[in-house]
Amino acid sequence: MECRLDGITVFYEIVGEGTPIVMLPPTGLDHTSMVADMERHFAQRDGWRRIYLDWPGTGHTTGGESVATSDDMLEVVERFTDAVLGQEPFAIAGDSYGGYIARGLIYRRASQVVGALFNAPGIGSEPQDGDLPVRVVLAEDQGVLAQLRTLKEGGWIEAAAVVHTPALLDYARSLESTPDIDEALWERVGRAHALSFDADALPQPFKAPALFILGRQDHWVGYRRAWHLLENYPRATFAVLDRAGHLASLEQPELYCALVSEWLDRVQEWMQTTSSRRVETSDRQA
């Protein structure tokens, strides 16, 4: 499907029916990465409308000179949600860079967001000494590595992971046929990575259920800086998984799936509770 905005056309796919959940991929990856990572959570679960979009300059979404900063990326996501969802409440799931932009969207649209999942979320500022764990491989599998090295996206997946599981291969294979990214666009965004405002200085705490999942051995974004975000999210579960680098969902798939399932339960409970409160308030006013 295509969402035509002013100056850009965003490609997206919708799977399922029910409460919308907007999926924001990692840096430079299109919607395929989120489909491969997230659809398993809904195999036995109804009631969710999963919205997978391609970032500008990835997949089938156009780019161009109009996108040069993370502010531009956030603006595209805002306009996209306006066009596709209007005022409808939605949940959001952000992976790595997608987790950073998701927090920018919450800063601006918190009242519309009914739940947030941050998987290895990026942080706008540069890490300081001691913020990142030392690179380590905990469970090496030469067979998995040999196959990864034959695949298009295998190099960065090998570099990000500290446990070599077959799930890494499945993920890499799912990305094999994705179109090349707009390198110039992502180089521009990389130079202007931080948003022009502090997305983590929320005007008030985010009241809906949230989930942070981080790898204890993630040497790319770490886990320590994310801890400082927690006071913004009083209904958040914060999980740091051992035997996991930047791809915890593939390195610790069973535990990851259990955490996401519990988060989805909490979001549904939250929506039912807040809906009941609105009805009670309306009845009293009547």
Tokens of 179: 């179109």
| Distance between CA atoms of residues 186 and 198, nearest Å | 21
- Domain-embedded: residue 156: no
pLDDT for the residue numbered 279: 46
Which residue, 223, 231, 225, 226, is CA-closest to 202? 231
Instruction: Give me the number of domains the chain comprises.
Output: 1
| Distance between CA atoms of residues 177 and 78, nearest Å | 28
- Domain-embedded: residue 117: yes
- Domain-embedded: residue 260: yes
- Domain-embedded: residue 161: no
- Domain-embedded: residue 169: no
- Domain-embedded: residue 176: no
- Domain-embedded: residue 94: yes
Sorted by sequence, the CB contacts under 8 Å of residue 249 that are 6+ apart come out as: 37, 119, 213, 256
Mean pLDDT per 10-residue run, the chain (286 residues)? Answer: 94 98 97 97 97 97 90 97 98 98 98 98 88 96 97 97 97 96 96 96 97 98 95 97 98 98 98 74 52
pLDDT for the residue numbered 7: 87
Tokens of 149: 């090295």
- Domain-embedded: residue 39: yes
Domain span including residue 256: 2-131+183-285
pTM of the predicted structure, to 2 decimals: 0.95
Tokens of 152: 């298009």
pLDDT digits (tens, 9 = 90+) for 150-191: 999 999 999 999 999 999 999 999 999 999 999 999 999 999
CATH code, 64? 3.40.50.1820
